[in-house]
Amino acid sequence: MVMTISKGNIGAELPAEPVAEEIFERLSGGGDVLVERIVSTGQATPEGEWYDQERDEWVMVVSGAARLLVEGEEDERDLSAGDWLLLPAHCRHRVTWTQDSPPTVWLAVHYPPNPA
């Protein structure tokens, strides 16, 4: 059996200046699992829009900072390096702010929800 080993650095090749769109990079995954790096440089979810995903998402801020609002909660959640959240499938949420410089780097793992 031949194994393929991949490697990288989650903090590599970050933009020096803010860019127009967030950068989504697939790091790994197979089947129903996706591991991705997201780089934000000041982006936020447009007002009135919400993420409502089919899969669970475990997300961590690797560097930088962000604020996230979960529908039904009064206060935004402040996130900084090392903070993580598990957002169950259909947990409506929105990013209200991301640090632009240096960029905010997220590590996200998407996977099917656990059956109840």
Question: Is 27 a member of any domain?
Answer: yes
Instruction: Name the nearest CA neighbour of 64 among 37, 95, 39, 86.
Output: 39
Question: Is 36 a member of any domain?
Answer: yes
Q: Which domain holds residue 27?
A: 23-111
Helix count (H) and strand count (E) of the chain? Answer: 0, 8
Tell me the CATH number at 69. Answer: 2.60.120.10
Is the pTM higher than 0.85? The answer reads: yes
Question: Is 68 a member of any domain?
Answer: yes
CA atoms within 13 A on the CB side of 102: 12
Per-residue pLDDT averaged across 28-54, rounded?
95
The predicted-structure confidence for 69-106, as pLDDT tens digits, reads as follows 999 999 999 999 999 999 999 999 999 999 999 999 99
User: Residue 29 corresponds to which tokens in the numbers above?
Assistant: 């995954």
Domains in the chain, number: 1
